[in-house]
Every structure is written in structure tokens, then in C-alpha cells.
């Protein structure tokens, strides 16, 4: 499994990358992901991509909290949460 680039990520001029002091598409940093989202809604896509590390961390915390209070892991919502985590981590 590949490990995702940790957040926080920022959006600068339609480009998404981890936060640095001098943002821009010319930046490279080893395995650091820098991308320009595609599609008609490029700015909305860029913000969604930038939020992905925080969304994954929050979902992981939420699912463990729900398991901890006894929510059935086979409930459809719990199954979709677990599937989203696996997808984000490249397991599915």
C-alpha cells in the first residue's frame, strides 16, 4: 500500500499541494504530490483534494468512536465508512 502525502494540503491558483511557504506548481519535494485537478469544476475539485487528509483522519476517528460505543459494524453507514477508508488507503 502506498502511503498518502500527509496534510495539511493547500490550494494555490488551482494547484493542490502540501503547505509550504512559497506555493506554486514549480515546487517539487521528493515524493510530495503536486497536482492540478481536472474537470469543469477545477477549483471545487482542488478544495476537495486539499481536504482529503483531514476527511480521512476525521472518518477514521469517527468510525473507531462508533465501534467503541457499540454501533453494529454491519450497519450500511458503518460499511460505507469502512469502504471509504479502504479506498482512500488504496486497499480496494
Sign of CA dihedral 39, 55, 57, 78: negative
39 within a domain of the structure (yes/no): yes
Give bridge partners of residue 27 from the DSSP assignment: none
Per the structure block, which three cell numbers stand in for 30? 521528493
- Domain encompassing residue 44: 9-88
> What pairing do the DSSP bridges indicate for beta strands 15-18 and 9-12?
antiparallel
25 within a domain of the structure (yes/no): yes
| Residue 16 falls in which region: left (phi positive, over 0), alpha (psi -120 to 50) or beta | beta
50 within a domain of the structure (yes/no): yes
Per-residue pLDDT tens for 9-31? 777 666 676 665 544 444 444 44
1 within a domain of the structure (yes/no): no
3 within a domain of the structure (yes/no): no
CB proximity list for 67: less than 8 A, separation 6 or greater? 73, 78
21 within a domain of the structure (yes/no): yes
- Could you give the number of structural domains in the chain? 1
51 within a domain of the structure (yes/no): yes
59 within a domain of the structure (yes/no): yes
Per-residue pLDDT tens for 34-87? 566 666 677 777 788 888 889 999 999 999 999 999 999 899 999 999 999 998
Amino acid at each position: 500500500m502506498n502511503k498518502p502525502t500527509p496534510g495539511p494540503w493547500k490550494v494555490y491558483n488551482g494547484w493542490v499541494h502540501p503547505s509550504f511557504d512559497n506555493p506554486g506548481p514549480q515546487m517539487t519535494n521528493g515524493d510530495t504530490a503536486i497536482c492540478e485537478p481536472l474537470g469543469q469544476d477545477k477549483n471545487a475539485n482542488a478544495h476537495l483534494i486539499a481536504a482529503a487528509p483531514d476527511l480521512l483522519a476525521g472518518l477514521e476517528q469517527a468510525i473507531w468512536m462508533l465501534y467503541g460505543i457499540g454501533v453494529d459494524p454491519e450497519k450500511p453507514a458503518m460499511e460505507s465508512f469502512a469502504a471509504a477508508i479502504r479506498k482512500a488507503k488504496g486497499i480496494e
